[in-house]
């Protein structure tokens, strides 16, 4: 059996009084796309810097490609690719110069790596003489990915590659990652966009330096533990508020055109809950509401685990603090 | 204006198209050299409306916002913001609007209360008003305990909510929110939208940009910009019906990459 591509055990990192990472343990299998999903300040960048040998953990250990990130950093650096969240290429060098520079640092050339970077680099090659600083966001992203790939790494760390990128370009970027994975690369990627979870083989939900769960994106929902209902109706602006005052509501949050309502009664048939909500709304003067049971998505799970301090919400728990703050 | 009136309105005709609009643009154009970043766009945002201003990166959204906030002069066309002309009355515009973005909001090295005082002063509010509104703002956010903390030391979600409140300190008629929820956790993101709704209920007009397509559904109306043009405008519900798509996300893909099939490109193939 091959070793995991990443094996982290109890990683802790503190900056002065702030704990950025609070004991992270996880492993990434070879040739999977593993996503860290969480908001700004969750600890994603700190974690990526430790895994790419740029920062030392205060406690715990991590092995990447079966090499220790603290001891074997020279050997490791030649075998990992890292695309930092902030654009960190040379803005005054041209597109072609940036790529040639990063290739030469690793003793190779863009031409030698054509089969790997070609499909990505060809999209920005028409602008090869443009200063990197003058590229659009989407083109910068593709150049940064080309540079991170130019030494043919075995594992790629991408820190928020799609932040601030429009929905269509994000989708195309994930298509690219899927193709790289098919070429045998292991990809560790972070994102604040919950909808990108479905593009990963497995995801880790991260918040305040702790993992709220690690699993295949489709597997979280089964352990949600409560009926979840999608509610739509007129007066959408006030619907969450109205639903929160329902006696069985654990939480109610807007999700696109509907409101997702979690019933605090763990063992209830969702269809029965739906009928009761319908009746409740009719009594509250929302006669045209549509209520249907749904499967929880990653964002539902994330919210539930945030609100309950990381543990799955127990039946009969008080409404989560997030819901309370808003009122 | 009630939600019902807005649903009744067609996708092309904005609701209640009478009286002065909060924002009105006719043939608004901006060229940079040979490049036309914004190509004769026309739209109207009604008072109290939450207007989602969507588009791909580089479509021209930021250029439009810079023109509407008086930071950039148009090359052609006309626009009025809160009744003021974008060519001549930029000072009056700036007094009538608030602006907040993910990138620039508060001074992290100042304390919470100092930020409130600073912005209150910039907006020209009397000290007494700043004090009163500042206290009310902190109470509404439940942040009284943090008034003397450095902004850098309070959690990011709170910072964004505080930034929103500070941007409304001078009770502007119109608020421009440029990706206000980028990188924010999913609970705070939703609380933020409740703040947007409360402001709209109070009569404030909001123009919001976002890359979260679920947030597009929270808007009364949206527009989608592609290559300097507004390609679609209307209520999310009407637009979904008009284009026969299940979500604004799908509509966005359809408009921004018209050559793609509606399903995500999967040319690489394989499982």
pLDDT, tens digit only, all 327 positions of chain A: 679 999 999 999 999 888 999 999 999 999 999 999 999 889 999 999 999 999 999 999 999 999 999 999 999 999 999 999 888 899 999 999 999 999 999 999 999 999 999 989 998 999 999 999 998 878 888 999 999 999 999 999 999 999 888 888 889 899 999 999 999 999 999 999 999 999 999 999 999 999 999 999 999 998 899 999 999 988 778 899 999 999 999 999 999 889 999 999 998 999 999 999 999 999 999 888 999 999 999 999 999 998 754 444 333 333 333 333 333
Helices in chain B by DSSP H: which ranges?
A: 3-8, 61-68, 90-96, 112-122, 127-141, 156-167, 186-201, 213-216, 236-243, 248-256
B94 Cβ contact list (under 8 Å, min separation 6) = B69, B70
Q: Are B268 and A179 inside 8 Å of each other by CB?
A: yes
- Chain A, chain B: beta-carbon pairs less than 8 Å apart: 118
A267 Cβ contact list (under 8 Å, min separation 6) = A315
Q: Are A167 and B253 inside 8 Å of each other by CB?
A: yes
Average the pLDDT over B111-116 and give the result: 96
Burial A17-31 (b: 16+ CB within 10 A, else e): eebbbeebebbbeeb
Question: Where in chain A are the domains?
Answer: 6-219, 222-326
Closest in B187, B194, B218 to A307, CB measured: B187
Burial A94-119 (b: 16+ CB within 10 A, else e): bbbbbbbebbeeeeeebeebeebbeb
Closest in B156, B187, B201 to A322, CB measured: B187
pLDDT single digits (tens) B78-88: 999 999 999 99
Closest in A164, A178, A253 to B182, CB measured: A164
CB atoms inside a 10 Å sphere around CB A222:
10
Q: What is the DSSP string of A122-180?
A: TTTGGGTTSBGGGS-HHHHHHHHHHHHHTT--SEEEEESTTTT--HHHHHHHHHHHHHH
CB atoms inside a 10 Å sphere around CB A282:
12
Domains and CATH numbers, chain B: 20-105+174-256 (3.40.50.300)
What confidence score (pLDDT) does residue A40 get?
Answer: 87
Least confident of A92-101, B3-12, B118-127, B246-255: B3-12
pLDDT single digits (tens) B174-195: 999 999 988 889 999 999 998 9
Q: Is A138 left (phi over 0), alpha (psi -120 to 50) or beta?
A: alpha
Q: Distance between CA atoms of A93 and A314, rounded to whole angstroms? A: 56
**Residues in chain B closer than 8 A to A322 (CB atoms):** 187-188, 190-191
ipTM of the complex: 0.83
Residue B102 has pLDDT above 50, yes or no: yes
Residue B104 has pLDDT above 80, yes or no: no
What confidence score (pLDDT) does residue B52 get?
Answer: 97
- Rounded to a whole number of angstroms, the distance from the CA of A166 to the nearest CA of chain B is 5
Percent share of chain B, pLDDT over 90: 73
Report field, pTM of the whole predicted structure over 0.80: yes
Residue with the larger pLDDT of the pair B10 and A59:
A59
**Residues in chain A closer than 8 A to B179 (CB atoms):** 164
Closest in B4, B58, B186 to A234, CB measured: B4
- Rounded to a whole number of angstroms, the distance from the CA of B270 to the nearest CA of chain A is 8
Burial B211-233 (b: 16+ CB within 10 A, else e): bbbbbbbbbbbbbbbbebebbbb
**Residues in chain A closer than 8 A to B187 (CB atoms):** 253, 303, 306-307, 320, 322
Q: Distance between CA atoms of B250 and B17, rounded to whole angstroms? A: 29
- Rounded to a whole number of angstroms, the distance from the CA of B79 to the nearest CA of chain A is 26
Closest in B179, B217, B256 to A164, CB measured: B179
Name the residue among A272, A268, A251, A270 with its Cα closest to residue A260.
Answer: A251
Closest in B3, B214, B268 to A256, CB measured: B214
Residue with the larger pLDDT of the pair B98 and B58:
B98
Q: Distance between CA atoms of B47 and B69, rounded to whole angstroms? A: 16
pLDDT single digits (tens) B48-78: 999 999 998 889 999 999 999 999 999 999 9
Average the pLDDT over B12-18 and give the result: 46
Average the pLDDT over B11-18 and give the result: 45
B129-B51-A168-B192 Cα dihedral, nearest 10 degrees: 40
Q: Distance between CA atoms of A229 and A232, rounded to whole angstroms? A: 10
Backbone angles phi, psi at B55, to 5 degrees: 170, 160
Q: Distance between CA atoms of B155 and B83, rounded to whole angstroms? A: 38
What confidence score (pLDDT) does residue A1 get?
Answer: 60
Q: Distance between CA atoms of A188 and A33, rounded to whole angstroms? A: 6
Name the residue among A319, A257, A245, A260 with its Cα closest to residue A292.
Answer: A260
Residue B135 has pLDDT above 60, yes or no: yes
Q: Distance between CA atoms of A172 and A149, rounded to whole angstroms? A: 18
Q: Are A136 and B58 inside 8 Å of each other by CB?
A: yes
The CATH code of domain A222-326 reads 3.30.70
**Residues in chain A closer than 8 A to B253 (CB atoms):** 167-168, 171
**Residues in chain B closer than 8 A to A320 (CB atoms):** 187
**Residues in chain A closer than 8 A to B56 (CB atoms):** 166, 168-169
pLDDT single digits (tens) B238-261: 999 999 999 999 999 999 887 654
Name the residue among B65, B74, B67, B86 with its Cα closest to residue B207.
Answer: B65
**Two structure tokens written together for A28:** 């990434």
Residues A137, B61 contacting (CB under 8 angstroms): no
- Rounded to a whole number of angstroms, the distance from the CA of B120 to the nearest CA of chain A is 25
Closest in A169, A171, A326 to B264, CB measured: A171
Q: Distance between CA atoms of A201 and A218, rounded to whole angstroms? A: 9
What confidence score (pLDDT) does residue A278 get?
Answer: 95
- Rounded to a whole number of angstroms, the distance from the CA of B184 to the nearest CA of chain A is 5
Q: Which fold has domain A6-219?
A: Rossmann fold (3.40.50)
- DSSP code for B149: S
Please give the residue of chain A at the shortest CA–CA distance from B235. Answer: A257
Q: Helix, strand or coil for residue B133?
A: helix
Q: Are B201 and A237 inside 8 Å of each other by CB?
A: yes
**Residues in chain B closer than 8 A to A206 (CB atoms):** none
CB atoms inside a 10 Å sphere around CB B159:
22
Q: Are B188 and A39 inside 8 Å of each other by CB?
A: yes
């Amino acid at each position: 059996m091959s070793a995991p591509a990443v094996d982290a055990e109890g990683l802790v990192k503190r900056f002065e009084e702030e704990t950025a990472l609070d004991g992270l343990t996880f492993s990434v299998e070879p040739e999977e796309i593993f996503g860290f999903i969480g908001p700004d300040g969750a600890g994603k960048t700190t974690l990526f810097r430790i895994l790419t040998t740029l920062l030392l953990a205060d406690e715990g250990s991590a092995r990447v490609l079966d090499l220790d990130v603290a001891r074997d950093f020279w050997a490791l650096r030649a075998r990992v690719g890292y695309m930092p969240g902030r654009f960190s290429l040379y803005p005054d060098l041209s597109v072609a110069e940036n790529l040639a520079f990063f290739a030469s640092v690793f003793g190779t050339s863009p031409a030698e790596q054509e089969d790997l970077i070609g499909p990505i680099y060809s999209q920005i090659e028409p602008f090869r003489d443009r200063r990197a600083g003058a590229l659009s966001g989407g083109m910068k992203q593709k150049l940064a990915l080309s540079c991170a790939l130019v030494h043919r790494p075995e594992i790629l760390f991408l820190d928020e590659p799609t932040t601030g990128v429009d929905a269509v370009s994000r989708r195309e970027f994930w298509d690219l990652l899927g193709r790289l994975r098919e070429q045998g690369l292991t990809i560790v990627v972070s994102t604040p966009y919950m909808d990108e979870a479905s593009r990963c083989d497995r995801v880790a939900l991260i918040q305040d330096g702790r993992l709220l769960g690690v699993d295949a994106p489709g597997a979280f929902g089964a352990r949600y533990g409560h009926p979840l209902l999608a509610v739509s109706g007129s007066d959408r602006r006030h619907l969450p508020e109205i639903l929160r005052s329902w006696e069985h509501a654990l939480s109610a949050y807007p999700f696109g055109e509907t409101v997702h309502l979690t019933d605090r009664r763990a063992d209830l048939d969702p269809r029965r809950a739906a009928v009761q909500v319908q009746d409740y709304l009719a009594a509250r003067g929302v006669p045209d509401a549509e209520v249907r049971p749904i499967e929880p998505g990653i964002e539902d799970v994330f919210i539930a685990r945030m609100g309950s301090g990381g543990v799955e919400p127990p039946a009969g728990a008080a409404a989560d603090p997030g819901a309370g703050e808003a009122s | 204006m009630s939600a019902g009136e807005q649903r009744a309105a067609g996708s092309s005709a904005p609701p209640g198209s009478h009286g002065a609009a909060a924002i009105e643009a006719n043939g608004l154009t901006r060229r940079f050299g040979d490049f036309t970043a914004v190509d004769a766009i026309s739209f109207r945002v009604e008072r109290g409306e939450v207007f989602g201003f969507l588009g791909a990166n580089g479509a021209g959204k930021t250029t439009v916002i810079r023109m509407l906030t008086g930071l950039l002069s148009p090359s052609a066309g006309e626009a009025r913001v809160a009744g003021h002309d974008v060519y001549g009355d930029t000072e009056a515009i700036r007094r009538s609007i608030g602006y907040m973005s993910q990138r620039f909001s508060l001074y992290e090295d100042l304390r919470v209360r100092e930020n409130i005082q600073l912005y209150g002063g910039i907006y020209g509010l009397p000290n007494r008003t700043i004090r009163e509104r500042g206290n009310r703002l902190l109470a509404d956010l439940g942040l009284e305990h943090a008034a003397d903390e450095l902004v850098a030391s309070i959690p990011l979600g709170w910072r964004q909510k505080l930034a929103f409140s500070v941007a409304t300190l001078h009770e502007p008629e119109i608020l421009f929110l440029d990706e206000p929820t980028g990188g924010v956790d999913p609970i705070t993101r939703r609380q933020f939208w409740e703040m947007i709704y409360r402001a709209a209920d109070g009569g404030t007009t909001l123009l919001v940009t976002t890359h979260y397509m679920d947030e597009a559904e929270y808007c009364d109306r949206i527009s989608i910009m592609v290559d300097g043009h507004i390609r679609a405008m209307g209520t999310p519900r009407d637009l979904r019906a008009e284009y026969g798509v299940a979500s604004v996300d799908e509509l966005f893909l359809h408009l921004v990459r018209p050559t793609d099939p509606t399903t995500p490109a999967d040319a690489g193939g394989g499982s």
